[in-house]
Amino acid sequence: DAGVIQSPRHEVTEMGQEVTLRCKPISGHNSLFWYRQTMMRGLELLIYFNNNVPIDDSGMPEDRFSAKMPNASFSTLKIQPSEPRDSAVYFCASSLKAGGASTDTQYFGPGTRLTVL
């Protein structure tokens, strides 16, 4: 299996621009997570989908952040407009939630390093 795929790996943009990060989860996985990693705050869960439906978006910092999962094999995280404080590494992870016997083990992608100037 190719694992979780994220694109782009690096993104440099200017303040005010729209940024779209993409994620392809592991085939067959039905849960998808977006995280943000910074030196100051560590790893933070932003939003979590189960069967393409957003379950918990309480970690999304502001209305400038939005995430979608139009199908089981693709998700996007959009920041509009971007600000310098959004600079971070954004990780996508997926897992197989199989009812009561769920393993809930998350597998992470390589991340997208975002720099907002």
Partner 1 sequence: AQSVTQPDIHITVSEGASLELRCNYSYGATPYLFWYVQSPGQGLQLLLKYFSGDTLVQGIKGFEAEFKRSQSSFNLRKPSVHWSDAAEYFCAVGTYSGAGSYQLTFGKGTKLSVIP
| Residue numbers at the binding site for partner 1 (CB under 8 A) | 4, 31, 33, 42-43, 45, 48, 55-56, 91, 93, 97, 103-111
**Closest CB 80 distance from partner 1, rounded Å:** 25
Please give the DSSP secondary-structure letter assigned to residue 62.
S
**Closest CB 108 distance from partner 1, rounded Å:** 4
Nearer CB in complex with partner 1: 57/81? 57
**Closest CB 24 distance from partner 1, rounded Å:** 14
Concatenated DSSP letters of 51-81: TTEEEE-TT--STTEEEEEEETTEEEEEESS
> In this structure, is the dihedral angle defined by the CA atoms of residues 26, 36, 74 and 100, taken in order, positive or negative?
positive
